[in-house]
Chain A
Amino acid sequence: MKYTKNDVLAYVNEEDVKFIRLVFCDLNGNQKNISIMPNELSKAFDEGFKIDSTSISGYEKAKKITLYPDPNTISLLPWRPSQGRVIRMFCDISANDLLSPRKELKNTVEETGLDNIHFFQRFEFYAFKLDDEGNNTKIPYDKASLMDIAPLDKGEKIRRDICLNLLEMEIETCGSFHAIGPGQNAICLSPTTALNAAENSITFESVTKTMAAMNGLEADFSSSPIENEAPSIQVIGISNPGEKTIEYYNNLKAGFETIRKYLTNQSASFENTVECEGNITIKGIAYSSNFYMLYSDILKTISGK
């Protein structure tokens, strides 16, 4: 435990935090959030925060779900004003007998004992221009190609903004570059535990979309937003599995059917999806996946259980 409930309460009190965003995911992996005020926070830690879930996909039948903020995931939203700050925390969901992917992933980590495995992630997205009414024009932001430099590459500053904002939220990146397609950018996140990796992917999407929108652009994570241009290939992988490499690789091969549902091309072969060169790399993950469930299934598969 890094932080406790009392640490967070003291921080909120001392640092003029005005809004607390409780973040969770629906079963399709879309980030959802609700803002509560500081005077509600203590109760939310103790008893959870109940919300109507009849319109939240995957939880329609539960009618109500309860959110329990995890103090270890506290982060300041760096682009919000410095007075009347906004913090966010990821939440466990309790909903009768229904699945809570976050809890499921934590249980899987415990059951498999694979808490020392670190995952790296590389995400690609297209940046499209918005028109003067804020609609997506589907016109790419630049005409640059793989690893081009400015002025051909116009995405340099926005990638920089994304990386610096992520760093302020304690998410480390290890590289960023212009990808193959026009207006297509790639950013690599440093290896971290399965739970952190899942939540970093959620934060990454919202930081990227926010930074883009602030600058008259829209970030598109879908696999082929422009016909005949390079697809965006989302990559995750196990960092330095060492002597376990062969075992994990073979287990992934045996249990590939479990992973297949998270791919953009669900008829892709194992050989075209998983590579093994020092690290084990899985290519072509759909960004619309629920990353908690994805990492939970990967851990289960490589453990052979």
Chain B
Amino acid sequence: MLKEVRYDVLIICSHQSITQAITKNLIDNPQINTPTITSDPMNARRLLLERHFDVVIINAPLEHESGLNLALEINDQHEVGIILLAKSDQYDELFDKTNELGIITLAKPTPSSLFTQSLKILCLTRQKLASLKKRSSSEVSLKEKIKEIQLVNEAKIILMKRRSISEDEAHHIIERKAMNERMTKKEAAQSIIVEYKN
């Protein structure tokens, strides 16, 4: 399934023994390139800027911070999968805060098989997401959205004048037309403007 695809992993961890344990787990996996390791969250932020990573593994807590905020921040700004390793007494709290965001939180000590499976699943979902993203159309820009608002308003005013109806009624007519004829509100407004101008 994962043939020809290799993943880049960044490990952020301030405990050498845990870093070694994670690295040992990754070395056996032919799909993972040699991981990049840092203990400094600022250095991690810079590394993420310089290079592309597929997966970030954060061992919480870090030296000066809990690791949670770093995970949330990276999740917000970078297109990467995140595994957060939590102390067992903090696991519930961290899980609650990261669960909905798609960050995988695992309690320590983590069984090697669970860790490896989680990593594989994360890599697979990232591939799936990437292919979905290609298909979905991009978001409407502010400029286009305001253009739509202006067109709908223009169509509303025309309808209100020509048919002597209220703004609400005009709004409904545009929405119904868009729904019935399977077009966007913008296209419905455009066709009304053209219709009445002729």
Contact = CB atoms under 8 A, between A and B. Distances in A.
Interface of A: 3, 6-8, 10-11, 14-15, 74-76, 79, 81-82, 87, 129-134, 141, 154, 157-158, 168, 170, 214-217
Nearest to B148: A14
Given A7-B150, A81-B76, A82-B139, A216 B145 contact: no
A158 B49 contact: yes
Contacts of A129: 42, 46
Contacts of B149: 7, 10-11, 14
B142 A74 contact: yes
Contact of B45 (A7, A75, A133, A215): A215
B64 interface: yes
18 contacts: A3-B146, A6-B153, A10-B153, A11-B145, A11-B146, A87-B142, A129-B42, A131-B42, A132-B43, A133-B64, A141-B46, A157-B50, A168-B141, A214-B45, A215-B46, A216-B45, A216-B49, A217-B49
B116 to A, nearest CB: 30
Contacts of A131: 42
A64 to B, nearest CB: 32
Summarize B's interface: helix, strand, loop or mixed: helix
Given A14-B145, A76-B142, A215 B49 contact: yes
A76 B145 CA distance: 12
Pairs A-B, 10 closest by C-beta atoms? A216-B45, A215-B49, A216-B42, A216-B46, A132-B42, A10-B149, A76-B142, A132-B40, A7-B146, A130-B42
A272 B145 CA distance: 47
Interface of B: 40-46, 48-50, 63-64, 76-77, 139, 141-143, 145-146, 149-150, 153
B48 to A, nearest CB: 7
Contacts of A10: 149, 153
A282 B40 CA distance: 43
Contacts of A87: 142
Contact of A157 (B49, B64, B142): B49
Nearest to A76: B142
Contacts of B48: 215
A141 B49 CA distance: 11
Nearest to A168: B141
Nearest to B45: A216
A78 to B, nearest CB: 10
Which of the listed residues B43, B46, B63 has the most CB atoms from chain A within 10 Å of its own CB?
A: B46
Contacts of A170: 142-143
Contacts of B150: 7
A15 B145 contact: yes
Contacts of A82: 139
A26 B36 CA distance: 45
A101 B41 CA distance: 42
Contacts of A154: 50
A90 to B, nearest CB: 15
Nearest to A15: B145
A3 B139 CA distance: 21
A146 B194 CA distance: 55
B177 to A, nearest CB: 18
